[in-house]
Structure 1
């Protein structure tokens, strides 16, 4: 048995040191295997190697086993002193489906959620509902002490009545005052006209004329002090404003009295009760709302999508939802809304995220609000296309891609382009139409040693 140690130098020249344990390898065999392993041109230029796309950790794991196998096989072939064709594993090319998905976790909640609060400093007398109970819109959730609210309403009503009474008195006074002022003006006007006629005839003096004029003007000024609406006198506007203010107070106090019965603004389920009988309605535990009501008939998920992925997400896209509470089952959903603005991801990250809502379509499931679920959003889907694992695709130095097929134990490289990608598979599209055929043998993890025309041995299935 012979053992070889290979050492690398900075000028890329390789040497082999041989330690003989039993019998030395013949020189001609050694030279032949060495030339095959370290094949270079006469000018010392290395042959360009094929390179792969930068793979994720998951994709690298797929190819580690295959690469190790080929490396061990090559060493066995050389050090065993006998050149053999490389063994490859293949699979038949078939058409299938490739789905690109985005997986994000988020909370499940009801579509409608309201927080019921009260600003009344009133004692809670009754709590007719408990957590978990379903309620209808307008149903009473709590009954508060209404004594103070009733007193305040009575005071507001009295103030309103006084404002109305004052207005009516002022209106009567305005009507009577206007009537007298109008009468005085009309009398003064008649006297003025008569005096003017006599003055023009020389029968009235200048003093009499001035007196009649002054009297008429005084009556006119007195008449102008009254406000008319549609030709009729009305009380000063300030009295109308007093009535409006008093009416508003009555409305506010009436609403406060009605609010001593706290009701649900929506139909739903009481998910939280943060108040107790004997406590004040505006002084709840930790200043939380008295009640939280959720509409659990229709559930939804709130998730944050990265700014790098949101461009592939659109309203109406199907979503598969899983959760621990569902076991191996899943429910269907769809993207229902996408926020028009992003927000900070947090934890010191500069990445932005976009709040996105997923409506859960399957309502008759074991999903409940308040738990965390995982949403798989279908970003892209290709059906009835050629599909291969990522490890089967080679990327050449010029950026082109290919797959390695085997026909009559000879490797044939077929140029392709990739299409829709999942986590482990990709759609491939041949550069030349018709180059791919159903059942053709594709090498599952081609190494850099393979090239067009290389002779290989296809390993039996299962080995």
Structure 2
């Protein structure tokens, strides 16, 4: 350990400092320390018992003395003016990653709730929680007696409607045929009477009677509905058939629904029903089953409106969770909602729902837990990197870093690039102004000026 000795000329007012090139022995250090302690206590020469100092305490004290001596040297070198003490770090290149940290639930990519509106008793539950099912696989079997009975009733009503329509169709065809024949007969009689009237062989009354009979026959024929020139039954009978056909389809569907099936391939994650209960009366009115596709997991997160502009589909994501025990799972942003929504809790901030697809599917992640996602927003590699605290922002908005060269401050104008939570990329305004190993002043004071003398503090070991 090197120390500085001071010798002053009381009358001359000058101070000389010389550095010892050789380390001071422990015995000499103890003696010097005792002398200092005596001077502090008013010069008393009364000896007291002293404890032997630990090596750690000696090192700390030597460091303080050396620091003070170094300060005096630079004070003397500056003609009596004080030099500011600074710490420095070597300028190096590295990588900077700008990230956004958010949290949200992990879930399957497809999730469905299976319900039943049938008031039917549950007879079987072949699937349980955790079972994998395929699309269309039976989850529950319900009592189908009522459903079959209702289908029979609906089928009978439909058959009756069809039979009625067919009867009315025959009546329409026969009635129209007769009405048309009656009209043709009345028309021929009118034409014959008109000829006799013109010849003076029929009276006016006979002609009018024939005309009225023909018009009555025409009106009767026009009471029938024609479609493509053929008579059809009244439309109400056809509508009745459609109504009853719809009822039959409904009852067939209800009968089919007595076998509750999965609409997707996935895993049964919840079963909220029991054998012997009614399908439409589940625990706390929850769905009978919840099916998730757990083959591919995803996270649903909400990104602040202030950060969403930096988020884009395809950006890489690192996912962590307590269940992973330090393992990091990779993912990527797959969708961003086109609309925002309220954050809640009285905040005026808006958030945008965003989906992250988890790429590593062979991890210990499971649906239903909360995980933390770090979205990589930007990255810069092999660039000049310094802590945020080392960048000086001037009143005019420009930025710079302060470096120590030959114990003087040199301000180097820079611009910032990609930023992480604690570091930032710096880009010199003047090309080539930054060099590897430059001594960048840490957390520079506002008092630092270009060309100011500084003392570089010894680095802590």
Q: One fold, TM greater than 0.5?
A: yes
Per the alignment, residue 142 of structure 1 pairs with: 140
Q: 1:90 to 1:205 in 2, by over 3 A?
A: same
Q: What residue in structure 1 maps to residue 122 of structure 2?
A: 124
Segment of structure 1 superposing worse, 337-346 or 371-380: 337-346
Post-superposition Cα deviations, 1:355-412, rounded to whole Å, max 9, x if no partner, equal 1111111111111101110011111222222111112111222222111112233221
Separation of aligned partners in 2, 1:454 and 1:252? 91
SS in 2 for 1:103: strand
Deviations 1:160-193 (A, max 9, x none): 0000010011011111101100110011111111
Aligned to 1:93: 91
CA distance in 1, matches of 2:261, 2:272: 15
User: 2 CA distance for matches of 1:242 and 1:222?
Assistant: 26
Going from structure 1 to structure 2, the CA distance change for 1:81 and 1:226 (only over 3 Å counts) comes to closer
Match of 2:342 among 335, 341, 344: 344
Q: Are the aligned partners of 1:99 and 1:422 in contact in 2 as well (CA < 8 Å)?
A: yes
CA distance in 1, matches of 2:364, 2:431: 49
CA distance in 1, matches of 2:75, 2:451: 24
| Residue in 1 that maps onto 2:384 | 386
- Deviation of 1:202 after TM superposition, in Å, equals 1.9
For residues 305-384 of structure 1, the aligned pairs below 5 Å read 305-384=303-382
Q: What is the CA deviation profile of residues 284-315 of structure 1, one whole-angstrom value per residue up to 9, with x for unaligned ones?
A: 00000000000000111011111111121122
Task: Measure, in 1, the Cα distance between the counterparts of 2:184 and 2:396.
Answer: 110
Match in the other structure for 1:203: 201
Q: Distance in 2 between matches of 1:249 and 1:397?
A: 80
Query: How far, CA to CA, are the matches of 1:27 and 1:288 in structure 2?
Result: 96
1:189 corresponding residue in structure 2: 187
Do the aligned partners of 2:402 and 2:440 also contact (CA within 8 Å) in 1? Answer: yes
The alpha-carbon deviation at position 89 of structure 1 amounts to 2.8
Q: Tell me the residue number matched to 2:450.
A: 452
Task: Name the SS of the counterpart of 1:279 in structure 2.
Answer: coil
Q: Higher mean Cα deviation, 328-337 or 171-180?
A: 328-337
Match for residue 261 of structure 2 among 242, 260, 263:
263
TM-score (norm 2): 0.82
Tell me what 2:299 maps to: 301
CA RMSD of aligned residues (A): 2.7
Preserved contact between residue 74 and residue 86 of structure 1 (Cα < 8 Å): no
> 1 CA distance for matches of 2:286 and 2:12?
88
1:462 deviation in Å?
A: 4.5
Counterpart CA distance in 2 for 1:73 and 1:158 is 107
Q: Which residue of 1 is the match for residue 36 of structure 2?
A: none
Structure 1 residue runs of 5 or longer lacking an equivalent are 1-24, 31-68
Which structure 2 residue ranges, 5 or more long, are not aligned? 1-9, 16-62
1:232-270 Cα distance to aligned partner (Å, 9 max, x none): 111000000010000000000000000000000000000
Name which of 411, 415, 428 aligns with 2:426: 428
The separation in 1 between residues aligned to 2:119 and 2:422, in whole angstroms, is 62
Q: Deviations over 1:204-236 (max 9, x none)?
A: 211111111111100000000001111111100
CA distance in 2, matches of 1:229, 1:398: 89
Q: How far 1:85 moved relative to its partner?
A: 4.5
Kindly state the Cα deviation for residue 141 of structure 1 after the two structures are TM-superposed. Answer: 0.2
Following superposition, the deviation at residue 157 of structure 1 comes to 0.3
**1:398 matched residue in structure 2:** 396
Aligned to 1:222: 220
Cα distance change, pair 85–219 in 1 and its aligned pair in 2 (3 A): same
Distance change (3 Å), C-alpha of 1:440 and 1:248: same
Q: Quote how far apart the aligned CAs of 1:29 are.
A: 8.8
Q: Deviations over 1:76-95 (max 9, x none)?
A: 958x9976644433222222
Matches of 1:178 and 1:270, distance apart in 2? 64
Rg larger in structure: 2
Shift of 1:339: 1.6
Q: Which residue of 1 aligns with 2:22?
A: none
Q: Matches of 1:179 and 1:159 in 2, distance apart?
A: 30
User: CA 1:168/1:387 → structure 2, altered by over 3 Å: closer, same or farther?
Assistant: same
Higher mean alpha-carbon deviation, 450-459 vs 221-230, is at 450-459
**What is aligned with 1:156?**
154
* 1:407 equivalent among 405, 408, 429: 405
| TM-score, normalised relative to structure 1 | 0.82
Range 320-329 or range 268-277, more displaced: 320-329
Deviation of 1:449 after TM superposition, in Å, equals 3.7
Structure 2 distance, partners of 1:245, 1:226, is 23
Distance in 2 (alpha carbons) for counterparts of 1:311 and 1:372: 24
Choose 394-403 or 118-127, whichever is displaced more: 394-403
3-state SS in 1 of match to 2:397:
coil
